[in-house]
Amino acid sequence: MTAPTPPPDVQNVPAGRFVSGDPYVLDATAVKEPPVGWRASSRFFGPGLIVSASVVGAGELITATSLGAQAGFVLLWLVFVSTIVKVAVQVEMARYAIVTGEGAMEGYNRVPPRVGRLSWVFLMWVLMAISKLIQTGGLIGGMAAALSILLPLGLGPLSPAAMTIWAVVVTVVAIATLIANRYGLIENVATFLTMAFVAVTVLVVIALPFSEFAYSAADLGSGLSLQLPLGALGIALTMFGLTGVASEEITAYTYWCLEKGYARWSGPNDGSDAYRRRARGWIAVMQKDAIVSWVIYTVSTAAFFVLGAAVLHPQGLIPEGNEMILTLSETFAGVFGEAGRVVFLIGALAALGSTIWAAIPSWSRSWANALSIVGVFDWADSRSRNRWMQVFIAALPSVWLLTFLWISSPLVMIMIGGIAGGIFLAAVAVSALYLRRRIEPELRGGRFIRAALTVSAVAIMGLGVYSAVTTLGG
């Protein structure tokens, strides 16, 4: 008798690496014993790699480089602080998803007070998501800019015609390759693109000391000395808000953890010791996955920051948006020849492409879950759920393309969404603190986890209040 064909998610991959069946249904017959130790756990990493792909893109490539150009090396330390301080909230929301089987949107809608059927956090997400339709158009624009420099189509680098053509091509290719909506494909491509941009950005930074833009160990030391010069507070707060995982990545991470299988493999909470052991084990795998993703996107963000500090800051250049990519590519061509330009542009394309690849399916899950919460369809119906995700996989990048063609300024578009995301991030921190109480004490984690979450939440809420006050003041 022939063996049954495995679901599309798990074809042509090592057995057991991806979950079988509906990942949003907790079934006692689908449980799997968790691995122990880093080596065994690494086989089940993946959600963090998708988040890493989403984090390091137009935001880090443009904003981290721009911040390095403004501040020089002195704020390099803040890259590490601003990325790690948000990880506790990311992990706590993922813990909630693993224990309950619910994505972040359903968790947000449980946080009181409520306005009718909807929580205030859910309503804030709606406002943030609308603003992000503008920001994420900058992703399309950033990649179109890099492609128009590498392959100008005979129309000139950054010419409106070349930018428009490449923006349309990027959008069509993204929709065509993602419409299948298979977790395994999303994770595998995100992993490849993540490794590509990490390799290229680190290679570029290592090559800088052999150029006219050489930096020294003393420069790096000054950047790690925890200084905050007078007049740099605004830049520092901007960096804290725009680097590392944002509210949308924290939200998406819960869905990727579910689709990887951490919750389904833990099984439904039947109150048994066996369940608690499995849940703690898969939560531990998730925590390792989150740590690995933090290392990846922090190294890449720091590399972009060093590019700005070493190359642009000494020249007094603070180019923005498309001009940033063009200036850096020409600088590297001047120092390392045409090969330097090509290497930099390949790294930029990998970073921007990985973000688009991860952002489209991430947002499709949040939007689809939001529709189910307001009663448009039943989230438990896997066919309807997948169909609505596919609708958003096609619709969202199309809207992003239109916003880019309308505004045509990636940096402005990124900043608009960044402000709204900073404010909503405070609501996510409040949600993490509240939803922690809905998890039984045995699965909450120890004092260190509680302390880290509290510190992280307080810092994030402080940023959110500052963003709201400065936005209203402006």
Name residue 451's amino acid.
Answer: A
**Residue 7 pLDDT > 50:** no
Predicted local distance difference test score (pLDDT) of residue 390: 96
Q: Please state, in angstroms and rounded to a whole number, the distance separating the CA atoms of residues 414 and 242.
A: 9
**Buried/exposed 435-465: b ≥16 CB within 10 Å, e otherwise:** bbeebeeebbbeeebeebbeebbebbbebbe
Q: What is the mean pLDDT of residues 3-16?
A: 42
**Residue 396 pLDDT > 90:** yes
Asked if 297 and 83 count as a contact pair (C-beta separation under 8 A), the reply is yes
283-334: pLDDT as tens digits: 999 999 999 999 988 888 888 888 888 888 888 777 666 667 777 777 777 6
Residue 293: CB atoms within 10 A of its CB come to 27
The mean of the pLDDT values for the chain is: 83
Question: Scanning the structure block, which residue is given the tokens 């984690």?
Answer: 445
Q: In whole angstroms, how far apart are CA 56 and each of 139, 176, 243, 435?
A: 11, 23, 9, 28
Q: What is the CA radius of gyration of the chain?
A: 22
Q: What is the mean pLDDT of residues 276-282?
A: 95
Question: Scanning the structure block, which residue is given the tokens 């298979």?
Answer: 182
Q: Which two tokens stand for residue 258?
A: 């579910």
Predicted local distance difference test score (pLDDT) of residue 53: 85
Q: What percent of the chain shows pLDDT beyond 70? A: 85
**Residue 470 pLDDT > 70:** no
What residues contact 399, with CB distance under 8 A and at least 6 apart?
133, 137
Q: What is the mean pLDDT of residues 14-34?
A: 84
Q: Is 118 helix (H, G, I), strand (E, B) or coil?
A: strand
Predicted local distance difference test score (pLDDT) of residue 313: 83
Q: What is the mean pLDDT of residues 399-416?
A: 71
DSSP bridge partners of 212: none
Domain layout of the chain by residue ranges: 34-473
- Report which secondary-structure segment, H or E, holds 119: strand 118-119
- The confidence band for 82, taking pLDDT boundaries of 50, 70 and 90, is confident
Where does residue 272 rank: exposed (0-12), middle (13-18), buried (19+ CB within 10 A)? exposed
- The confidence band for 418, taking pLDDT boundaries of 50, 70 and 90, is low
Q: Which class would CATH give 34-473? A: mainly alpha
Q: Please state, in angstroms and rounded to a whole number, the distance separating the CA atoms of residues 362 and 371.
A: 15
Q: In whole angstroms, how far apart are CA 2 and each of 6, 14, 449?
A: 12, 19, 48
- The confidence band for 399, taking pLDDT boundaries of 50, 70 and 90, is very high
Backbone region of residue 46 per phi and psi (left: phi > 0; alpha: psi in -120 to 50; beta: other values)? left
Q: Please state, in angstroms and rounded to a whole number, the distance separating the CA atoms of residues 463 and 458.
A: 9
Which range has highest mean pLDDT (404-413, 434-443, 450-459)? 434-443
Question: Scanning the structure block, which residue is given the tokens 């991030």?
Answer: 425
Q: In whole angstroms, how far apart are CA 456 and each of 240, 407, 415?
A: 12, 34, 23
Task: Tell me which residue of 165, 174, 181, 188 sits closest to 139, measured CA to CA.
Answer: 174
Q: What is the mean pLDDT of residues 192-201?
A: 80
Angle at 255 between CA 385 and CA 448, to 5 degrees: 155
- The confidence band for 214, taking pLDDT boundaries of 50, 70 and 90, is confident
Higher pLDDT, 416 or 307: 307
Q: Is 458 helix (H, G, I), strand (E, B) or coil?
A: helix
Asked if 35 and 43 count as a contact pair (C-beta separation under 8 A), the reply is yes
**Residue 451 pLDDT > 60:** yes
Listed in sequence order, the DSSP H helices in 101-207 are 104-108, 120-135, 137-150, 160-178, 183-207
Asked if 259 and 19 count as a contact pair (C-beta separation under 8 A), the reply is yes
Predicted local distance difference test score (pLDDT) of residue 412: 57
Q: What is the pTM of this model?
A: 0.88
- The confidence band for 350, taking pLDDT boundaries of 50, 70 and 90, is confident
Asked if 321 and 333 count as a contact pair (C-beta separation under 8 A), the reply is no
377-390: pLDDT as tens digits: 999 999 999 999 99
Residue 105: CB atoms within 10 A of its CB come to 24
Q: Please state, in angstroms and rounded to a whole number, the distance separating the CA atoms of residues 423 and 128.
A: 8
- The confidence band for 420, taking pLDDT boundaries of 50, 70 and 90, is low
Q: Angle, nearest 10°, between helix axes 410-436 and 247-260?
A: 60
Question: Scanning the structure block, which residue is given the tokens 């998501």?
Answer: 129
Asked if 150 and 342 count as a contact pair (C-beta separation under 8 A), the reply is yes
Q: Please state, in angstroms and rounded to a whole number, the distance separating the CA atoms of residues 334 and 371.
A: 51
**Residue 14 pLDDT > 50:** no
Q: Is 408 helix (H, G, I), strand (E, B) or coil?
A: coil
DSSP bridge partners of 115: 118
Q: What is the mean pLDDT of residues 71-90?
A: 86
Asked if 133 and 402 count as a contact pair (C-beta separation under 8 A), the reply is no
Q: Which two tokens stand for residue 248?
A: 């949308």
Predicted local distance difference test score (pLDDT) of residue 144: 86
**Residue 111 pLDDT > 90:** yes
Q: What is the mean pLDDT of residues 92-103?
A: 96
**Residue 6 pLDDT > 50:** no
